Amino acid sequence: MRLASTAALLACGALAALALAQAPHEHEHDFSDPERWSQVFDDPKRDAWQKPQEVIEALKLKRDALVADIGAGTGYFTVRLARAVPAGKVFAVDLEPDMVKHLAERAKREHLANIVAVQATTEDARLPEKVDLVLMVDTYHHIDDRRGYFAKLKQSLKPGGRVAIIDFTLDADIGPAPRARVSPDRVKSELTAAGYRLVDEHTFLENQYFLVFTP
C-alpha cells in the first residue's frame, strides 16, 4: 500500500503497509485487536491512493466470479470484491486467526453472504474451491518460498484463472524498508519460474506495481 498527499496520510499509509504483512514470521505488530487495525486499513483516506474501485474495474470480473483475497487483513478489498461479484464468492484468506474471525464477523455485519473467511498457512492458501482470480495486495514480499507457493497455487485456479499482484515499488515514498521490497522485474522472473506468464500490467497506482499473471 502507499501514497498520500499529506504527511499525516503518508504516515498512515506507511503504517498500513507494514501492518498488512500477514506472514507470522514477518510480524512486527500485534494483530490481536483487528478493530484497532481497521482504523488504519479501512481509513476512507486510503481510497485516494489505493484506488480500489479502479483496481477492481481493471480486473474485469464477471458477476459470478470466484475470487480469493490472499492477505485480506480486515477486509478492505474483500468487501469491495464481494459487491463486485454479487453472484459469485470471495474467499478472504489470512494467516492471523483474529483477522479470520474479524473477516467472518464483518461479512455477517455487512450482509455479504458471498464472503467466506479462510484460515491459511504460510505454505498454502487452503482455498476450498478453484477460483477465477487471486488478488494479493502488499503480501507478495512476505512469502518465503515463492516459487513453491505459486506453483502450488496453480492447483487452486480454474482454467484461465489469474493471479493479480499489487506491491510496493522500490522507490515508493511509503511502505516497508527497501531491503524488504521486491522489484516488479523480480516478481515477473519468479512467477515465470513458477509456471506463469504475464498477461497484464497496470500503471495507475503511483507507489505500487500491479501485475496480472496466468498459468
Q: What fold, for 7-214?
A: Rossmann fold (3.40.50)
pLDDT (tens digit per residue) in 64-118: 999 999 999 999 999 999 999 999 999 999 999 999 999 999 999 999 999 999 9
Q: How far apart are CA 201 and CA 212, in angstroms?
A: 6
52 has pLDDT over 70: yes
Residue 42's pLDDT band (cuts 50, 70, 90): low
Contact 126, 155 (CB under 8 A): no
Average pLDDT, the chain: 85
CA geometry: angle at 20 spanning 102 and 132, to 5°? 75
What are 155-196's pLDDT values in tens digits? Answer: 999 999 999 999 999 999 877 889 999 999 999 999 999 999
* Domain ranges (residues) in the chain: 7-214
pTM for the structure as a whole: 0.84
